[in-house]
Structure 1
Amino acid sequence: MLLRRYFRGPYVSWAQAVHPVSDDERGLLVWLPAGAGFAYRLYPGGAPAIEEYAAAPLQRRTWVDRDVLILHPPGAAHSVWWFFREGAFLGWYVNLEAVLARHPGGIDVVDHHLDIVVDPDRTWRWKDEADFEACIDRPGFWTTAEAAQIRAEGSRVAARAEAGVFPFDGTWRDFRPDPAWPLPQLPPL
């Protein structure tokens, strides 16, 4: 089991217990099944000030609804998620984030709010643009120049999706976990 933590500034905004699948030249691949341990901070909608993340309680929950295969390509400022429900592939999700940092027992990423939803036919759309834009030039988030780099990373990944190249080439659309794998559980946070 690995712990995958998201940070907003210096604060953990959510944590996921995941099962490692592989770690090779394609990147770190992990499995997040429905039923796995999950925690997130509850805060009002919109883009709160960075300090509000610390004040919000971290709530332990169970990941529900979909199983997810997550790839962290080496050195990339994003991760690619394959969503499944009852074994059926639903599409991809691209989470724009800082290049992962590894630590004993897991990985940490800084979420950039902006995401991309990619349908099985590889059509795509931006997600959470308003939250992303609201954080530009705010303390603890990203500058205008960094925001342009984040959006450019997303545009590069979207072009790969349109072209149907890895990881949007059908790889792992039929992934099935080993039935012997236990549900990943969160350690004390």
Structure 2
Amino acid sequence: MTMQQDPATTRFTPGQEILHRHFTGDRLVYVRAVRVVAHDDLGLRLWIPRNTPMSATMTADGRGLRDMPFAEWVTVERELTPMRWTGPDIFMYTPPDAAHSVMFFWYPRDKFFGWYVNLEEPGVLWQDEHAAGVDITDQDLDMWVNRDLSWSWKDEHELEERLNFPDHYWVDDADAVRAEGLRVAELIEKGAFPFDGTWCDFRPDPSWSLSQSLPPGWDRPRARG
């Protein structure tokens, strides 16, 4: 198997189905099959419609990370569970080398209603003869941006709670995470790209179909830069 992991040379093709995977350490905790809108020097753009096939880490009784205190989460048995995305359609933009991505939300499907800034470790892009994708670690603290460019932090309480468990938590520099968010906030408050109306009217290629399940290769080891 030949693996390509150089973000400077890896390029995905418009319409290509790839895997967007979240890890904590080397453990795969979340994965979705997504569609490439474009990939160039501007960055990676992805389309994630409602009902996209995915797997998320759950307990045997169907609870997720947000359904219990973190102190309990780190002690219970859990496994990746197949399901489908039940949220709104998402256009995701990841700038090159950035420690965040920006998700554009529509609800209903023809009405743009805001941006979600996901703070994360810079993704590692990979592809081989059989599959392709991007691997990240979500850093929990996020931002919600309204259409009028007012914004707020999200999930601050989760970050603070989990920092009390350094042996189990995947965020080791909360100050750096917040600093990245503040850099994005400067763009938001100026109405600068990508918060300037770009892509707010995006609609997907009608020929793109939903897969019935995650494609082969979804559970391969994490790619590291």
Of residues 179, 193, 209, the one that matches 1:166 is 193
Confirm or deny that 1:183 pairs with 2:199: no
Give the structure 1 partner of residue 115 of structure 2: 92
- Higher mean C-alpha displacement, 37-46 vs 93-102: 37-46
Change (3 A) 1:50 1:8: farther
Q: Quote the offset at 1:48 in angstroms.
A: 4.8
Give the structure 2 partner of residue 7 of structure 1: 23
Give the structure 2 partner of residue 153 of structure 1: 180
**Which has more strand, going by share of residues?**
1
Matches within 5 A, 1:17-96: 17-42=33-58, 43=64, 44-48=67-71, 55-85=77-107, 86-96=109-119
Q: Structure 2: any 5+ residue segments left out of the alignment?
A: 1-16, 59-63, 220-225
Give the structure 1 partner of residue 8 of structure 2: none
Structure ID, larger Rg:
2
After superposition, the CA RMSD in angstroms is: 1.9
Q: What TM-score comes out, normalization by structure 2 length? A: 0.77
1:121 & 1:11 partners in 2: Cα distance?
38
Q: Provide the secondary structure at the position in 1 that maps to 2:201.
A: coil
How many positions carry a matched residue from both structures? Answer: 186
Q: What TM-score comes out, normalization by structure 1 length? A: 0.91
Of residues 118, 123, 138, the one that matches 1:111 is 138
Q: Provide the secondary structure at the position in 1 that maps to 2:70.
A: coil
2:174 & 2:138 partners in 1: Cα distance?
12
2:21 & 2:106 partners in 1: Cα distance?
21
2:193 & 2:75 partners in 1: Cα distance?
38
Q: Quote the offset at 1:8 in angstroms.
A: 2.2
Q: Structure 1: any 5+ residue segments left out of the alignment?
A: none
- Percent identity of the aligned residues? 39
Deviation per residue, 1:62-107 (Å, 9 max, x gap): 1123100001110000000000121210100000000001122101
Q: Provide the secondary structure at the position in 2 that maps to 1:57.
A: strand
